[in-house]
A and B are shown apart, each in its own frame.
Chain A
Amino acid sequence: METINISKGFKITLAGMPDISVIQIPEPETIAVCAMDIPYIRPKLLIKENDPVKTGTPLFCDKRNKCIQYVSSGTGTVKKIVFGERRRLKEVVIALNKNDDFIQFETLSSTDINAVPKSKIKKLLQQGGLWQSFREFPSKDTADENHDPPMIIVSLNGNDPFSPHPQAVLENNTEFFEFGIQILKLFSNRIVVTSRQSSLDRLNGFKDDITHIVPDFYPAWDPGVVLYQLKRTQKENRSWCISVEHLIRVAQFLLTGRYPVKRVVTVTRSNDKKPHILTRQGAPVKDLVGSLDENSLITTGRFNGRIVDPQTHIGFFETTLNIIKDNQKEELFGFIQPGLATPTASKTFLSCLAKTPKNLDCNIHGEERACINCGYCTSICPVDLAPNFIMKALLSDDIEDALSYGLLDCCRCGLCSYACPSKIELTKLLSDGMDAHYKDKE
């Protein structure tokens, strides 16, 4: 086990860490397969409303590569297909039947796995709706099946500081985890498994598999950050990554031949210690969050997720729901308050002297101003970018310069926007720049 030294990141202790125990909630009435959390997808529907579907029936595929399918995680009938602006597919809602009726796929076993051709495993995973678990850098699009990745990074921790604890995910799944690693070894020569420092003491059974330990502040465990720290050659820029939760489901699917429907999610809010929740994939958000303050924001990752509506369903890649309070009051002379409990990455509030857990709210705390080159974004960026200079290059349409400054190393962690005193949407600008470049290349 190696330790990766990362010095920059979000080092404030947050309040509202979920409890490690796992509870199960009753089966929901509806589930959905969501298209909003899938990057770059151009969905093509394969079913109509009121069609009956089984668990594992493909609902839509990606027009760019029709082999990549997104399948139903429940048995029932298609209740509604929800479209957003410009008829963008948002989600396919399915009213669940009492019992699951699985589509049975071919099974593999861990003894003869080395004899199976790689292409067959890939085909199986694409049919089973799990190939998209593999993401390819630098854009984190669905992995290209014809490309042999130089490295595959398995992250035991999710996208948010309070994503499910790996122990809750790995519990009773040791066999699947080991098999998953075996599969990855077929795809690539170098498998990197990373874990947060704090997760480690509950992962005794898996210590042999973990190759790298990362520090315990966001976003050190992000695969993009890990890749940046580990890569030595230009070829490694096209590495793959997969989360441990998806790896287990890939293995489970290949071993049992059935689409795995259960998953662990966390629901976090400040001043709360809710346990982890075991539920069906695509469960309704309102079932998970319970009662809600009207003004609060529900996100699937406070730094790099998306805003979700309580009436929608959780997506394939999402394992956390953060409920972030709206602190609406406009303080008199707010800009010069001493701030005894104010969370901040700067040293301008008295709260930076105490290490007590802080509550973040979903407010901007100021107005947008021009960049004053203060360098807060540079000093917090985990992949050593200078977001202020990249932003200026992007705004002047100088994509070549932006790329040479390392734009594609950006892991979209959101910390530059978080820290910016001028409240510039740096993450959005950089992320849009990367997307534009990627779509241009495609």
Chain B
Amino acid sequence: MNPLKKLLDRSEKYFTGSGKFNKLAPLFDATKTFFFFPSPKTRHRPFVRDNLDLKRFMSFVLIALLPVLVFGIYNTGFQSGLAQGKSFTLIQSFLTGLRYVLPIIIVSYGVGFFWEIVFAVVRRHNISEGFLVTGLLFPLTLPATIPLWQVALGISFGVVIGKEVFGGTGRNFLNPALTGRAFLFFSYPLSMSGEVWVAAKNTVDGISGATALSFTALSDSGFTLSNLFFGLVPGSIGETSALCCILGALFLVITKIANFRIMIGGMAGLMVTSIIFYIIPGGSDTWMNAGPLYHLCAGGFLFGIIFMATDPVSAPGTNPGRWIFGFLIGFLTVTIRVVNPAFVEGTMLAILFMNVFAPLLDHIVIKYNASKRIPNV
């Protein structure tokens, strides 16, 4: 028998029934089922069940995030090197990046899991896998230089206020990772999109915000379309590279974990809206005039629409609802960027805003579908 299994079996008695640590049963269950996939017998019909479960479902999102994560780490180091006026090699960049990014991820997972366990223990249910994704999505939306206490505060807000107060995974109406980020963005705007933060000490004056979004003179300072596409620009850890986001999107769409309707709808909404603004005369050299491709690749829109907007819990559950949801996110992103330059983080606000409307979209679609059915009462 596997020694790990032996250890788990031996310690099970402390965590169940009247064992010493029976309050921590959810933690034990989460550990045990992480290593050994549980598969009890069916008791109700149907007596056969599919092999896909929530652990696999959520793990697949993590796999899709790998290119973004790896590139994000590399880019953090690369940008840090640039800011110090040095030219780092590939490995040097990666290691430097790792030094900044790894603590953020560890804090995010650690603090987030703490809250998950607290709520699981109080509510006596098992720990849901949804947090696996939240815990990685959240750090990827942050700039690498954010103080760690802010990471802890942000993920706490996201998990507790964004999710647990409503009943936990499956019952939240906002995306928890984005809720946490929005909290940090409005509470500590300087750390999020201030002027001097690049991942290195004693840097020269600023190039980077969280996201490259002040369009005027942006192209001159390196934010060209091709740089934005490949992602070698300063910005939040995970959202700079459009290419890596698209790789993740392909994986999610092929495995049908995320819904392509939201992604395509969102891109269509963004394209249409930015073309309309482009055609309207005036506003040269502002976001109005940026054109669809620049809008698409800049400011973490792809990261948001691919990984955040497709969170099934906070998105609509009906297909027409998903199209509308995606389209309006694209529309709102451009509108917020163009009309209100004070809030450059259009994508984040657009997704959170549409999260609130997702139940309404579902309601309309379901009522419409019900009216199309031949009544059966």
Contacts and interface: CB of A to CB of B under 8 A. Distances in A.
B52 A334 contact: no
B376 A362 contact: no
Nearest to A408: B376
Contacts of B45: 299, 301, 303-306, 414, 417, 427-428
29 contacts: A231-B374, A302-B46, A305-B47, A322-B47, A327-B39, A330-B37, A335-B56, A344-B52, A346-B50, A347-B256, A362-B48, A363-B49, A365-B51, A365-B52, A366-B37, A367-B53, A373-B312, A375-B318, A378-B318, A386-B317, A389-B362, A389-B366, A415-B46, A417-B45, A420-B50, A423-B49, A423-B54, A427-B46, A428-B44
Contact of A366 (B38, B44, B167, B373): B38
A369 B376 contact: no
Interface residues of B, number: 57
Contacts of A418: 46, 48-50
A421 B255 CA distance: 14
B284 interface: no
A109 B336 CA distance: 81
A335 B54 CA distance: 9
Interface string B37-80: 11111101111111111111101100000000000000000000
Interface stretch (A43-51, A75-83, A232-240): A232-240
Given A304-B45, A370-B167, A375-B318, 10 more contacts: A236-B374, A297-B47, A299-B47, A307-B47, A332-B35, A348-B60, A372-B313, A373-B313, A389-B366, A423-B53
Interface stretch (A177-185, A197-205, A398-406): A398-406
A39 interface: no
Given A297-B41, A366-B39, A372-B170, A360 B48 contact: yes
A371 B225 CA distance: 40
Contacts of A333: 35, 37
Interface in A322-336: 322, 324, 326-328, 330-336
A363 B40 contact: yes
Contact of B376 (A237, A303, A335): A237
Contacts of B50: 343-346, 365, 418-421
Contacts of A364: 39-42, 49
Contact of A408 (B40, B130, B377): B377
Interface string A334-362: 11100100111111110000000000111
B16 interface: no
Residue of A307, A404, A421 ringed by the most chain B CB atoms within 10 A: A421
A348 B257 contact: yes
B377 A369 contact: no
Contacts of B313: 372-373
A349 B51 contact: yes
B203 interface: no
Nearest to A428: B44
Contacts of A409: 373, 376
A422 interface: yes
B33 interface: yes
Could you tell me the dominant secondary structure of chain B's interface residues?
Answer: loop
Nearest to A329: B39
B57 A374 contact: yes
A58 to B, nearest CB: 30
A349 B129 CA distance: 19
Nearest to B259: A375
B126 interface: yes
Interface string B14-41: 0000000000000000000101111111
Contact of A370 (B39, B49, B169): B169
Contacts of B167: 370
A252 interface: no
Contacts of A342: 51
Nearest to B52: A346
B376 A365 contact: no
A373 B170 contact: yes
A388 interface: yes
Contacts of B5: 330
A405 B375 CA distance: 9
A307 to B, nearest CB: 7
B366 to A, nearest CB: 6
Nearest to A359: B48
A330 B44 contact: no
Nearest to A375: B317
A369 B39 contact: no
B359 to A, nearest CB: 10
A418 B46 CA distance: 6
A365 B38 CA distance: 6
B202 interface: no
A425 interface: yes
A138 interface: yes
Given A342-B51, A367-B126, A388-B317, A425 B40 contact: no
Contacts of B124: none
A305 B44 CA distance: 10
Contact of B129 (A369, A384, A405): A369
Interface in B285-339: 312-313, 315, 317-319
A408 B373 CA distance: 11
B313 to A, nearest CB: 5
A218 to B, nearest CB: 10
B370 interface: yes
Given A366-B54, A406-B376, A328 B39 contact: yes
B280 interface: no
Contacts of A302: 46-48
Interface string B164-186: 00011111000000000000000
B340 interface: no
A389 B367 CA distance: 11
A231 to B, nearest CB: 6
A412 to B, nearest CB: 8
Contacts of A236: 374
Contacts of B60: 348
A297 to B, nearest CB: 6
Contact of A347 (B59, B254, B315, B318): B254
A378 B2 CA distance: 40
A237 B374 contact: yes
Residue of B37, B40, B168, B169 ringed by the most chain A CB atoms within 10 A: B37
B84 interface: no
Nearest to A327: B39
A234 B374 contact: yes
Contacts of B57: 348, 372, 374, 421
A327 B50 CA distance: 13
